[in-house]
Amino acid sequence: MVEGDRMAPAAAHRTASVDGAVPEADTAVYEAVFNAAVAADERIEPRDWMPDAYRSTLVRQIAQHAHSEIIGMQPEANWISRAPSLRRKAILMAKVQDEAGHGLYLYSAVETLGVSREELLDKLHTGRQKYSSIFNYPTLTWADVGAIGWLVDGAAITNQVPLCRCSYGPYARAMVRVCKEESFHQRQGYELLLALSQGTPEQHAMAQDAVDRWWWPSLMMFGPPDDESAHSAQSMAWKIKRHSNDELRQRFIDICVPQAKSLNLTLPDPDLRWNEERGHYDFGPIDWAEFREVIKGNGPCNEQRISQRRKAHDEGAWVREAAAAYAAKHNGATGAAVEPSADTADMNGKA
Amino acid sequence: MTTEQSPLWEVFVRSRRGLSHTHAGSLHAPDAELALRNARDLYTRRGEGVSIWVVPSKAITASSPDEKDAFFEPAADKPYRHPTFYEIPEGVKHL
């Protein structure tokens, strides 16, 4: 089934009737069908009936995810013009372009839930929807590009692989595509750090400094501890999430420790040590006060990220207007279903 | 000044010659030509396709999930459409 069928008249009718007066008995039947599908590990598709809270949870999560991809372009794009070689520059441009692509896959997925792209962008621009707090940290040196690839993308992959089996079909399909591309991101970061680590003492120190700054914020990417996570239990019951925040965080730490060793870099946690009994690495306390401050908007770059996003959007307006005017003018030729707005008709002089 | 959100398009990609186009995802674009170019950038950055179709989402008519049981039911009671319905004596070959 194509996601686009949300546009079909039947879909519109159905949503209207669900939003409107559906007899309670019918809702109970719908809910039973939905619960059975989730229990059987089937996927929920855009036009299936779903509980309002399931829909709003998905909108919140997928929108935040999409926004993170788009905002995440900024800290890395910061270094494109100063990449130390043409090879590194080409890699970084390809990576930032991938992030844009990931944002677009995810926006398409959230739009299947009946939210418009404009509304999503508006909510990002006005702070009513969030993005990952990790992108509110600055990229101070070239080594940060490596640390982001290795740690931030590594944490993202740990989070995202289980999302490929999310109960909501369009989100799961978007994540399959994202995960395929993400592994290049992580490997280029690791390779970049390795090159620095094996370089001059100054380069090694630069790599170590980047890892020291990005390690803790990367661990915070998994979200608050399970007993403080507002949405976790319900999301797991709906099979939107497959593993808890703490479980994924532990998995990530266990993966990173040996990788750091082969990089010849240390992780900035004196409490990090193997626990034979648990079969996992123990680690020190995470500064959740800092996490909450950054989420509240008091991170080093919150304001800069949003104002740059708004600026890019505003400065691109003339491109969208020109493309819409062109499409309206040639509508007959392409057969595209464009309704020219009063604005574009005016611009065409055909009002 | 804001413009209307450009229309939604469904993207179908043929991954290699000999295979059908399959649905890859959707995107917004003001017209067909831009939809095609955006689709190339969005869905074939790593050589995933040799041919792309873009279709206005509005042009797609879909069966309703509510009616899926009734709609597809006629197929359910015709097991004789499957080759395994037929009993063939043992030893008969190439059948």
Which of A47, A173, A324 is nearest residue B3 as measured by Cβ atoms?
Answer: A324
CB spacing of B61 vs A1 below 8 angstroms: no
Task: Give the pLDDT mean for B66-87.
Answer: 86
> Which percentage of chain B shows pLDDT scores above 90?
72
User: B17 vs chain A: nearest CA distance in angstroms?
Assistant: 21
Task: Give the pLDDT mean for B35-48.
Answer: 95
User: B90 vs chain A: nearest CA distance in angstroms?
Assistant: 38
**Distance between CA atoms of residues A213 and A140, nearest Å:** 10
Q: Does A117 touch chain B (CB under 8 A)?
A: yes
Residue A21's pLDDT is 54
Residue A346's pLDDT is 35
Residue A343's pLDDT is 39
Residue A14's pLDDT is 38
CB spacing of A326 vs B30 below 8 angstroms: yes
Q: Note whether A244 and A252 are within 8 A (CB).
A: no
Residue A7's pLDDT is 42
Hey, what are B83's tokens? 């080759």
**Distance between CA atoms of residues A300 and A134, nearest Å:** 10
State how far the alpha carbon of A254 is from the alpha carbons of A95, A241, A291, in Å: 26, 20, 22
Q: Does B68 touch chain A (CB under 8 A)?
A: no
Q: Does B78 touch chain A (CB under 8 A)?
A: no
**B16 vs A13, more confident:** B16
DSSP string, A188-210: HHHHHHHHHHTS-HHHHHHHHHH
Residue A163's pLDDT is 96
Residue B66: band (very low, low, confident or very high) from pLDDT cuts 50, 70, 90: confident
**Selected residues 218-257 of chain A with any CB under 8 Å from a CB in chain B:** none
Best of B26, B43, B64, B71 to disrupt the A interface (most A CBs within 10 Å) is: B26
Best of B1, B8, B12, B34 to disrupt the A interface (most A CBs within 10 Å) is: B8
Q: Are strands B51-56 and A280-282 parallel, antiparallel or unpaired?
A: unpaired
CB spacing of A116 vs B58 below 8 angstroms: no
Question: B-chain residues within 8 Å CB-CB of A10?
Answer: 62, 64
Q: Does A348 touch chain B (CB under 8 A)?
A: no
Question: B-chain residues within 8 Å CB-CB of A344?
Answer: 3-4
State how far the alpha carbon of A311 is from the alpha carbons of A238, A288, A303, A316, A324, in Å: 38, 31, 12, 8, 20
DSSP string, A240-297: S-SS-HHHHHHHHHHHHHHHHHHHT---S-TT-EEETTTTEEE-PPP-HHHHHHIIII
Which residue has 């193997």 as its token pair? A274
Q: Does B20 touch chain A (CB under 8 A)?
A: no
**Selected residues 164-193 of chain A with any CB under 8 Å from a CB in chain B:** 173-174, 177, 181
Residue A65's pLDDT is 96
**Distance between CA atoms of residues A9 and A145, nearest Å:** 47
Q: What is the pLDDT along chain A (351 residues), one digit of tens a residue?
A: 444 444 443 333 334 344 445 567 788 999 999 999 999 999 999 999 999 999 999 999 999 999 999 999 999 999 999 999 999 999 999 999 999 999 999 999 999 999 999 999 999 999 999 999 999 999 999 999 999 999 999 999 999 999 999 999 999 999 999 999 998 999 999 999 999 999 999 999 999 999 999 999 999 999 999 888 878 889 999 999 999 999 999 999 999 999 999 999 999 999 999 999 999 999 999 999 999 999 998 999 999 999 999 999 999 999 999 999 999 998 754 444 444 443 333 333 333
The pTM of this model reads: 0.87
Q: Does B34 touch chain A (CB under 8 A)?
A: yes
**Distance between CA atoms of residues A10 and A301, nearest Å:** 45
Q: Does B15 touch chain A (CB under 8 A)?
A: no
DSSP state of B31: S
Which of B27, B28, B62 is nearest residue A10 as measured by Cβ atoms?
Answer: B62
Sign of CA dihedral A127, A132, A137, A138: negative
Question: B-chain residues within 8 Å CB-CB of A118?
Answer: 2, 5
Domain spans, chain B: 8-61
Residue B68: band (very low, low, confident or very high) from pLDDT cuts 50, 70, 90: confident
Q: Does B73 touch chain A (CB under 8 A)?
A: no
Q: Are strands B21-28 and B8-14 parallel, antiparallel or unpaired?
A: antiparallel
At the topology level, CATH places domain B8-61 in Ubiquitin-like (UB roll) (3.10.20)
Q: Does B32 touch chain A (CB under 8 A)?
A: yes
Q: Does A33 touch chain B (CB under 8 A)?
A: no
Nearest CA in chain A to B66: A48
State how far the alpha carbon of A295 is from the alpha carbons of A56, A67, A75, A242, A298, in Å: 20, 14, 17, 24, 7
Residue B65's pLDDT is 79
User: B80 vs chain A: nearest CA distance in angstroms?
Assistant: 27
User: A145 vs chain B: nearest CA distance in angstroms?
Assistant: 22
Nearest CA to B46 out of A318, A155, A180, A122 is that of A180
